Chain A
């Protein structure tokens, strides 16, 4: 076929070349980029945009999606439907408004985690101290698990005592 011949679908100049294998037969199509035939029978796009993945995921995992569709954020106008499309929230209030819907998504994105541990803004002084305590206990528990795994029982016993002390202080 000469390169000047028009699109097989609609006679515009062709720029897309598709090779399909159907029932063991090789079929070649030469199409213009706008032709609706371009997408016919083509393999699914291998690089799905992240927001599409996110919205598919939300659709599949959020049983609450249907009845929540009418909720709209009073501060920024964000709806669950808009979030599903872009993967981005509109303002900080959305996290409280959609806490229930976001939970399964967050668990999946963050290895099952549901709560923040780590840095707390200095202006939230006392709250930070409590959180730091929880962090250090979490850390000790992990170290303990590692010590047991490595059969370092001396370290394990020491860590177990430290956890007991830290928990005692917290209560």
Chain B
């Protein structure tokens, strides 16, 4: 598999096929691990960093964790390629911007990605479409077991798996669920979700994780506590308490909108469709905002001839690096707006 093979379609996890996909875009489980006997990356020398990358890369590739695993050397990769991987949620912004030897291993369907030399030596992540936390955990736990046979991870009796930042120690697990909550936004109840999440020590972030704003009503909810709770307890909280309640809340808000404010709702949905089908210049923020309303309209049965899969793909492929890859050239801001609008019109079958 080559990096360029990724550009033309969305990863399996973004195809909108998983359970509860009308509200849950994707489920993700991430584990942070460090190799025993090496300093954390803050204190590693260039040579140690290089040695770590070689050793971890070889272990991953030898383990054949996923068919046709692609390894990308991020030190050598171009800026656009790194940005492309960030847009696809396969690496973090932090890792794209870092310096020195580092890379990422990607499974063919993009469900699995292993960042090498991020903040920790290894950041393993599994992504799944819709609400599939158990499946994500099973896969990542297996990957962790396989790697652990070859690499001894830094572990402490009291503190569990050791990480560079003390906020990740213990299980080193981060469970996050990406949600689409347009109705709660429109009814002004989204603040209640934020407050409840805060009370439960959960973080709410935007589409691209740490340090990003929520655009287009897409929110990532993730755990912050990693010490003193085991993995299944953290997953159970999400599966049985947090996520089902937010889903119910969003469904309730959607029903209220459809029942009591049907015309106003249709106005939002069909305005979004109209602009997306006719605009000649679209910024990425406006695009996400419009796609969000259209996505809700499709799920409520107001718009019949657009597929969710198409909308999920548009969320991804209208990002700057994807547009430039698709057009095969570097584009400045205004050129991107024009290319974005044209691409969307084409995908939605307009003129």
Contact = CB atoms under 8 A, between A and B. Distances in A.
Interface in B128-177: 141, 144-145, 148-149, 152-162, 164-167, 169-171, 173
Contact of A111 (B149, B159, B164, B228): B228
A105 B231 CA distance: 22
Interface in A105-146: 105-106, 109-124, 127, 135, 139, 142
B231 to A, nearest CB: 5
A110 B43 contact: no
Interface stretch (B5-13, B34-42, B258-266, B296-304): B34-42
A89 interface: yes
Contacts of B149: 122
Contacts, number: 115
A95 B229 CA distance: 19
B171 A90 contact: no
A91 B166 contact: no
A114 B40 CA distance: 22
B224 A109 contact: yes
A121 B228 contact: no
B195 interface: no
B226 interface: yes
B201 A116 contact: no
A68 interface: no
B38 to A, nearest CB: 8
Nearest to A134: B230
Interface in A61-83: 75-78
Given A76-B43, A111-B225, A116 B170 contact: yes
Interface in B205-243: 224-231, 233
A122 B230 contact: no
Contacts of A123: 148, 152
A151 interface: no
Contacts of A120: 155
A79 B96 CA distance: 28
A133 B234 CA distance: 18
A154 B36 CA distance: 48
Given A113-B170, A118-B171, A87 B40 contact: no
Query: Majority SS of interface residues in chain A?
Result: loop
Contact of B229 (A77, A78, A86, A113): A113
B342 interface: no
B159 A88 contact: no
Contacts of B160: 116, 118-119
B196 to A, nearest CB: 16
Contacts of B152: 121, 123
B42 A106 contact: no
Contacts of B229: 113, 117-118
Contacts of A113: 170, 225, 227-229
A163 interface: no
Given A89-B42, A127-B157, A117 B225 contact: no
A1 B104 CA distance: 53
A119 B39 CA distance: 22
A118 B167 contact: no
Contacts of B161: 116, 119
Nearest to B149: A122
Query: Lowest 9 CB-CB distances: which A-B pairs, in order?
Result: A113-B228, A116-B160, A118-B230, A90-B43, A110-B227, A76-B43, A91-B39, A92-B154, A118-B171
Interface of B: 34, 36, 38-40, 42-43, 119, 141, 144-145, 148-149, 152-162, 164-167, 169-171, 173, 201, 224-231, 233
Interface of A: 75-78, 86-92, 95-96, 99, 102, 105-106, 109-124, 127, 135, 139, 142
